[in-house]
C-alpha cells in the first residue's frame, strides 16, 4: 500500500477506471478512491471514467474523459482482473497505469498490481489504504459512503463466507465517518414494479438439473418485455440463491445473438474453473462467464450438473 501511495503522490492527474457493466463494488471503489485523493491532495486533478450503474447511481455516474487528459497521467484500474474487461480501454494512453483488485489473478497488467484475494470487496482494499494512512489522511462522509456501498453490495450485505472480522472492522470505521445506514437501505432495497414482476417470472420458470444445479435463462426479448435494464436482470441471480438442494446456481442473459452472459454462484463447489472454460473467471464461489450462442447451453448445464454431483459425492 505504500507503493500505491507513491504512485498517487507522483502524478498531478489521476484517472480511475472500472470494469464493464459495473456493480456496486466497482462504482464504490472508484468514487471512494476519488474522494479520498481529492480530499487529501486538493491540488491534483482526479477523474472517474467508464460506464455507470443505475443501481448505485446515487453514489455517482462516471463519464468517459477526454483523450487529452491521459497525457502524463496515472490510470488506476480497480476491481478488474483483466484489462479486456475495463470499460475504458484507454488506460494505456496514460504515462503509467496500476491495478488494485480482489479477484483471483488472471492477468498481470500495469506497472504495479495490488491484489488481495482475501478481501471480499475491492472497496475494502481502498478503505484499508486509508486506514494505513489514517494518521495523515482524512476520510470524508462521501468517501466512506461509497466504500461502504462497495463492501455491502459485493458481500450481499455481509452474508458471504469471504467476510471476516477485518471486514466488520473496516465497515465500523466507515460508519464512524458518517455513513447513513437508513438512507443506504432505502436506496438499495426499493424495487420497481417491473423488477418485482421479473422476479415472479424467474421463480416460476427456473430449472433444476438432476443433481441440483439451478438456473434461469433470459432472452433479449424477455428482458425487454419486462422493461428492466440488463443490470437489474442480472441481479435476479439472487432470486434462486436459497434453494437447499442446489449449491450452485446461475442466471444466463442474452445481451446479443453472439453474447450470452452468465452469473454463476456457489455455496460450496469451486466454480471459477468452470467459468474459465467459458471465457470467464472470478472468485471461487462467485464468477462470470460467457456463451457465444444458445447451442452451448446444454453443454454448460451438463458440466455444472457434473460439478455439483462430484461435490455432493465428496461430502459422503
| DSSP secondary structure letter of residue 120 | S
Q: How far is CA 165 from CA 120, 169, 171, 176, 235, in A?
A: 11, 6, 10, 17, 27
Topology of the domain comprising 2-188: inorganic pyrophosphatase (n-terminal core) (3.90.1640)
Residue 316 has a pLDDT of 83
Asked if the domains at 2-188 and 193-315 fall in one CATH topology, the answer is no
Q: 207-208 and 213-218 as β-strands: parallel, antiparallel, unpaired? A: antiparallel
Residue 191 has a pLDDT of 86
Boundaries of every domain in the chain:
2-188, 193-315
The CA-based angle 140-157-162, given to 5 degrees, is 100
Residue 281 has a pLDDT of 86
Residue 104 has a pLDDT of 86
Residue 124 has a pLDDT of 98
pTM: 0.85
Q: 281-282 and 286-291 as β-strands: parallel, antiparallel, unpaired? A: antiparallel
Task: Write out the chain's pLDDT in tens, 316 residues.
Answer: 999 999 999 999 999 999 999 999 999 999 999 999 999 999 999 999 999 999 999 999 999 999 999 999 999 999 999 999 999 999 999 999 999 999 988 889 999 999 999 999 999 999 999 999 999 999 999 999 999 999 999 998 998 888 999 999 999 999 999 999 999 999 998 889 999 999 999 999 999 999 999 999 999 999 999 999 998 999 999 999 999 999 999 999 999 989 999 999 999 999 999 999 999 988 889 999 999 999 999 999 999 999 999 999 999 8
Q: How far is CA 45 from CA 27, 87, 251, 253, in A?
A: 19, 21, 40, 38
Residue 160 has a pLDDT of 85
Confirm if 309 and 211 have CB atoms less than 8 A apart.
Answer: yes
Neighbours of 164 (CB within 10 A): 13
Residue 77 has a pLDDT of 98
Q: Grid coordinates standing for 293? A: 450462442
Reported CATH class of domain 193-315: alpha beta
The residues, any chain, with a CB within 8 Å of residue 277's CB and separated by 6 or more, are: 289, 303
Distance CA(47)–CA(15), nearest Å, equals: 5
Distance CA(233)–CA(246), nearest Å, equals: 21
| Residue 277: alpha-carbon gap to chain centroid | 20
Amino acid at each position: 500500500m505504500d507503493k500505491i501511495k507513491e504512485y498517487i503522490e507522483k502524478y498531478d492527474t489521476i484517472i480511475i477506471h472500472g470494469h464493464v457493466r459495473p456493480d456496486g463494488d466497482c462504482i464504490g471503489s472508484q468514487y471512494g478512491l476519488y474522494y479520498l485523493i481529492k480530499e487529501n491532495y486538493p491540488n491534483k486533478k482526479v477523474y472517474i471514467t467508464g460506464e455507470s450503474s443505475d443501481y448505485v447511481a446515487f453514489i455517482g455516474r462516471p463519464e468517459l474523459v477526454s483523450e487529452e487528459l491521459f497525457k502524463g497521467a496515472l490510470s488506476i484500474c480497480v476491481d478488474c482482473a483483466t484489462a479486456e474487461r475495463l470499460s475504458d480501454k484507454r488506460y494505456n494512453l496514460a504515462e503509467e497505469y496500476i491495478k488494485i483488485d480482489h479477484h483471483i489473478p488472471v492477468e498481470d497488467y500495469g506497472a504495479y498490481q495490488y491484489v488481495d484475494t482475501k478481501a471480499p470487496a475491492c472497496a475494502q482494499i481502498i478503505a484499508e489504504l486509508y486506514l494505513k494512512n489514517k494518521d495523515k489522511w482524512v476520510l470524508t462522509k462521501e468517501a466512506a459512503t461509497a466504500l461502504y456501498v462497495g463492501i455491502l453490495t459485493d458481500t450481499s450485505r455481509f452474508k458471504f463466507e469471504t467476510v471476516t472480522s477485518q471486514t466488520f472492522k473496516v465497515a465500523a470505521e466507515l460508519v464512524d465517518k458518517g455513513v447513513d445506514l437508513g438512507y443506504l437501505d432505502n436506496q438499495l432495497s426499493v424495487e420497481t414494479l417491473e423488477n418485482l414482476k421479473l422476479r415472479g417470472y424467474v421463480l416460476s420458470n427456473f430449472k433444476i438439473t438432476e443433481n441440483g444445479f439451478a438456473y434461469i435463462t433470459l432472452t433479449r426479448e424477455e428482458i425487454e418485455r419486462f422493461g428492466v435494464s440488463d443490470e437489474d436482470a442480472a441481479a435476479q441471480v439472487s432470486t434462486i440463491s436459497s434453494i437447499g438442494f442446489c449449491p450452485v446456481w446461475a442466471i444466463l442473459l442474452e445481451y446479443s445473438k453472439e453474447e450470452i452472459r452468465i452469473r454463476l454462484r456457489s455455496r460450496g463447489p469451486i466454480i471459477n474453473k468452470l467459468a474459465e472454460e467459458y471465457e470467464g473467471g472470478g472468485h471461487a464461489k462467485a464468477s462470470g462467464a460467457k456463451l457465444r450462442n444458445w447451442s452451448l447451453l446444454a453443454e454448460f448445464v451438463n458440466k455444472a450438473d457434473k460439478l455439483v454431483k462430484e461435490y455432493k459425492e465428496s461430502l459422503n
